[in-house]
Structure 1
Amino acid sequence: MIETRADTAPPPAVFDLSCETLIIGAGAGGLVAALAAQEAGQSVLVIEADAVPSGSTALSAGLIPAAGTRAQQATGIDDSAELFATDIQSKANGENQQGLVDRLASHSGPLIDWLSDTYELPFSVISNFDYPGHSRRRMHGLPTRSGTELIDALRSTCEACGIDIICERRAHRLFYQNGRVHGVSVTRPDGGVETIGSKKLILACNGFGGNRELVSRFIPSIENGLWFGHDGNRGEALLWGQEIGADLGHLGSYQGHGNVAHPHAILITWAVIAEGGVQVNCRGERFWNESQGYSEAARVVLAQPEGQAYSIFDSRIAAVARQFEDFKRAETAGAIKTSDTLEGLARQFDLPTDTFVQTIESIPENGTDAFNRKFGNEPLRPPYCGVRVTGALFHTQGGLKTDEHARVLNENGVAFPNLFACGGAACGVSGQSDSGYLSGNGLLSAVVLGKLAGQSE
C-alpha cells in the first residue's frame, strides 16, 4: 500500500489544458458521470491513473442494486424505491442520512433503465437467489456477472460517444482558492507534470483502502486483512477534502468480504452461503451466523485461527454460483474441492474428520440453529464442495458528504459550487462500520451519485 499526502495550492496563472467538466477516475462512477455530463451539453475530460480503466469496479461482481426497473417487472418482481430505502437503513441500523438513502434508492431504477435504453447495456436481474438484507431480488448485472465486463462496457460506450479518456495521468494536486476548485495537476508516466483547469470537477477516484496509514487510523479492525481493492485508492479525495474544509462522514465504514479463495485471491460469490452453505474454521466447527452478510464476514473470518475459514456447500449450490465468472475461474484454478463424502472433503482440507462431519450433519433442515440462522428444506447433499477462504478489505464507504446534486459540502453544510463526488470518494449509505454494508452499496453510490454529478451544472 502506498502513502499519499494532501496537496492543495492556488491556481496557476495559466493552465496547460482547460475543459468544462473534469472527472478524476474512470471507474463506473466516473464513466457514468461522463455520459450524463455529455448529455447535459458539457464538454468532458476524464483522467485515469491506470493504463486502462479498471479500478475497484473491475474487481467487483459488477452488480448494481436497483428498484422498480423494467427488468424486474419483466420477471415479476414487485419492488419500489421506498422498500429499497428501508432495506438500506435496516442493514445500517438507521445510521445513514435519510435524504441520501432516499436519493440513491429513488434514482437507482431510472438509472438502470437509462443505461439499458439509451446505451443498450444488457442488464438483467439475478433472479435465482437472494442477497442478504435485500427483501427483493434487485441485483442487476451484465451477462457474465463480472465487474470487468461492466467497466469495459462503460468505457466502450464513452469512447463511442466521443468522450476523451486520458490514461496514465494521476492527479496529485488540487487547485483551490476563494471557495472554488480550479483544476488539478497531474503526473505523467515519464514524471512530467501537467496542469488542467476546469469549471467543474468531479472526484470519482474512490476511497482510501490502498493507503495503509489511513486504514490504520480509521478502520483498524481490518488493517491486517487482505487488501483486495485497487491500489490506486489512495485517499486523495479525502485528504483534499480535509485541506479545504469539506465535511466528512462515516470514515470507519467499509465493505469487507469473508469469502476470498486463499491463497488464490479469487472472490467467491456469497451465493454459496446464501443458498445454504456454511463456514467452518480449521477445527471443523462453525463459528457464526453466516446469513448476516459477506462484509462483516471478513472481520469474523480473520478472527479465526490463521485468519482462515472453509466455505462448505454442495453441487446444487455450485451450479448456481457458476453464473459468475470468478467462480468458474476458481474452479479452473483448483480452489474448489469436491468429494462424494464429507469425510473425503475433510481430508482434502486437512480438517478434523469427526468434528467436521458432525458439524455439517447437525445443520437443521427447515429450522433455526444455535447461531440463530434459519435454514430451508434443502440440506447439503453429495457431491459436497468447499473452498478455503480468508477475509479481505474491498473498499472504504466513508468520505465527502454531498448534497442532492452530489456537490461536496463544507463543514457548515454549504455546498462547494463546483466540486462533486461519487462512489468511494463520497460518504455512502453503509452506516458507520462493516456490518451496515448492503450488497451492491458501493456501485449504487458510484453510479447514482455519478449521474447526479454529471448532469448538474
Structure 2
Amino acid sequence: MRVIMAPTVKEPPQKFDFTVETLIVGAGACGLIAALSAMEAGQEVLVIEADAVPSGSTALSAGLIPAAGTKIQQAAGIKDSTALFAADIQAKAHQENNQALVDLLAQNAAEVIDWLTQTHGLAFSLVDDFDYPGHSSRRMHGLPTRAGSELIDALRSAAERAGIDIICGRRAETLYFADGLVHGVAALRPDGGIETIGCDRLILACNGFGGNRALVSEHMPDIENGLWFGHDGNRGEAVLWASQIGAATEHLGAFQGHGNVAHPHGILITWATITEGGVQVNAAGERFWNEAQGYSEAARAVLSQAQGVAYAIFDERIAEIAEQFEDFKRAKSEGAIKSSGTLEGLAQALGLPADTLSKTIAEISPNGTDRFGRTFGETLLSPPFCGVRVTGALFHTQGGLQVDASARVIRKNGGVISNLYAGGGAACGVSGSGDRGYLSGNGLLAAAVLGRIAGRALRG
C-alpha cells in the first residue's frame, strides 16, 4: 500500500528557486479556469500539476456543468432562474448549505459558461433529452462527447493558447506560511528533487481527499468500503494544510458517490438509464430501494446488497439516450451492457433468476407510486431489454475549506487569509453534510465558479 506523507507547513526559505504573482496548485477544471481568469486580469500565472498531464477528477466525470440563465438556455427557449437553481441546490441538501455560498455559485454559473463559450470557444450545449434528478429545469451544459476528458483537454488547449505556463509532474508537499500569509510552496519533482516556488497569492485547486483512505475512514465511514472511482491524486493536501494554519473547514463528511458503475469494468454508467424508467435489482432479481433519490445515494444502497453489487435494468429506448455519453459507448463495446429480446434472456445473460426478475418488472405500474415511494411515468420498460452489473463507488469529496465571496480561505476566527484562495474539491461544496445532498453537477459547478472568481480576484 502506498504511504501518503502528510503535507507540511513551514516558515518560508530565505530565497525561492523562482517566484510568480499567482500560483495555482492543480490543473483540473478549477485550476485551469482560474488560470484563464487570472491571465485575463493581467496577472502572471503558473499552474503546477502532480500528474504527467492535466486530468484530475474532471477527466473521470461526464464534464457537465449546471447553470441557469445562459445564452444557450435562452436560445433553446428554456425558462430558468438563479433563484430556482439555488432553491434546487438547497432542497437536495435539506437546507444544510451556507446560503451565501449557494447564491454565489448559482448567480455566477451562467457567466462562466457564456465566457468559456464566447471567449475561449468551448462548444457547450444542453443535455435536453432527459432530466437530472433534483433539477427543476434542463440546465446541464456539456461538450459534444459528454465526457470530462474532452472538457479538460479543451481547457488545457485554451490555457496553452493564452500562453499560460503549466508545469506537470510537480506535487506540492510543503506550504510556506508565516505572519498570516502564504509565501509559496515546495513541490516534489519526478526525479525526487524539490523546487521552491514563491508567490504573491496561491489558489488551491488540488481537489479533495478521496484518495486518502485514512481521511475517508475518518470522515465518511459509510462509504469507506466503496470502490474508489475518483483520481488517486486527491490526497487531501488542502484539508491537511488547513488544520495547520488555522483555516476553517466544513462538511468534511460530504461526498459524491455513484451507485451505477459497471463492475468489474469500472466504467461509469449514466444515471439516465434509471431516471428514464430503469430500475436497480439485487442478485435475487428484486428491487431494493427508491432509485429516484439519486445516484450518490445509490452508492450506499448498492453496497448494502450481497457482495456490494446490483444490476441496472433498462431498455433499448433508454440505451439510445445513454449513447450520447462516451462512457456508455465504451461500456457497451467492452461487453458490460447485456441485451435480449426477453426478460428471460436478459436474466440468463446477467445470471439473475428469470422468474423473479420478470415479476419485479411486471409490478411496475404507470403513473403509480410503488412501495418504495417512486413514481413512474406512462412509458414503462419494454423489449428489447438491457442490463449491466454495477457496484457503488466514491467519486469525490464535497467538504473542504470555507471560502468567502472572493474565494478567499476563511480562518477559524472568522477572518480571511488574504492571499490564499480555494475552489473545486479543495473548498467546501454545496452538498450538505453527507451524500443525500449531491445534486448532479455540484462538483464541477464549484470548480468552475470558484475557479473563475479566485482567478480574477486580486490579493486582499
Give the TM-score, by structure 1 length: 0.99
Give 1:128-277 correspondences, 5 Å limit: 128-277=129-278
Identity %: 67
The alignment yields a C-alpha RMSD, in angstroms, of: 0.6
One-letter identity of the residue aligned with 2:328: F
- Whole-Å Cα distance in 2 between the matches of residues 266 and 332 of structure 1? 11
Where 1:130 maps in the other structure, the secondary structure is coil
One-letter identity of the residue aligned with 1:220: P
The CA deviation at 1:412 is 1.1
Give 1:80-95 correspondences, 5 Å limit: 80-95=81-96
Does structure 2 conserve the Cα–Cα contact (< 8 Å) formed by 1:207 and 1:425? yes
Where 2:288 maps in the other structure, the secondary structure is coil
Give 1:12-411 correspondences, 5 Å limit: 12-411=13-412
One-letter identity of the residue aligned with 1:276: G
CA shift digits 1:230-277 (9 cap, x unpaired): 000000000001100000000000000000000000000000001000
- Whole-Å Cα distance in 1 between the matches of residues 455 and 75 of structure 2? 29
The CA deviation at 1:6 is 3.0
Where 1:76 maps in the other structure, the secondary structure is coil
One-letter identity of the residue aligned with 2:272: A
Where 1:93 maps in the other structure, the secondary structure is coil
- Whole-Å Cα distance in 2 between the matches of residues 4 and 258 of structure 1? 30
CA shift digits 1:419-447 (9 cap, x unpaired): 00000000000000001000000000011
Does structure 2 conserve the Cα–Cα contact (< 8 Å) formed by 1:346 and 1:352? yes
CA shift digits 1:196-233 (9 cap, x unpaired): 00001000000000001100000010000000000000
Q: 1:42 to 1:178 in 2, by over 3 A?
A: same
- Whole-Å Cα distance in 1 between the matches of residues 4 and 98 of structure 2? 30
One-letter identity of the residue aligned with 1:194: E
Where 2:419 maps in the other structure, the secondary structure is strand
- Whole-Å Cα distance in 1 between the matches of residues 288 and 127 of structure 2? 29
One-letter identity of the residue aligned with 1:423: G
Does structure 2 conserve the Cα–Cα contact (< 8 Å) formed by 1:145 and 1:325? yes
Range moving further from structure 2, 307-316 or 349-358? 349-358
- Whole-Å Cα distance in 2 between the matches of residues 437 and 182 of structure 1? 35
The CA deviation at 1:47 is 0.1
- Whole-Å Cα distance in 2 between the matches of residues 350 and 124 of structure 1? 39
- Whole-Å Cα distance in 1 between the matches of residues 74 and 161 of structure 2? 30
Count of residues in correspondence between the two structures: 457
CA shift digits 1:53-104 (9 cap, x unpaired): 0000000000000000011111111011000000000000000000000000
- Whole-Å Cα distance in 1 between the matches of residues 388 and 372 of structure 2? 22
The CA deviation at 1:350 is 1.3
Where 2:233 maps in the other structure, the secondary structure is coil
Where 2:373 maps in the other structure, the secondary structure is coil
- Whole-Å Cα distance in 2 between the matches of residues 96 and 330 of structure 1? 35
Where 1:119 maps in the other structure, the secondary structure is coil
The CA deviation at 1:2 is 5.0
Aligned residue number for residue 436 of structure 1: 437
- Whole-Å Cα distance in 1 between the matches of residues 102 and 395 of structure 2? 21
- Whole-Å Cα distance in 2 between the matches of residues 383 and 230 of structure 1? 36
One-letter identity of the residue aligned with 2:431: S
- Whole-Å Cα distance in 1 between the matches of residues 3 and 350 of structure 2? 35
Does structure 2 conserve the Cα–Cα contact (< 8 Å) formed by 1:261 and 1:387? yes
The CA deviation at 1:349 is 1.2
Does structure 2 conserve the Cα–Cα contact (< 8 Å) formed by 1:4 and 1:236? no
Give the TM-score, by structure 2 length: 0.99
Where 1:122 maps in the other structure, the secondary structure is coil
| Ranges of 4+ aligned residues in structure 1 off by more than 6 Å | none
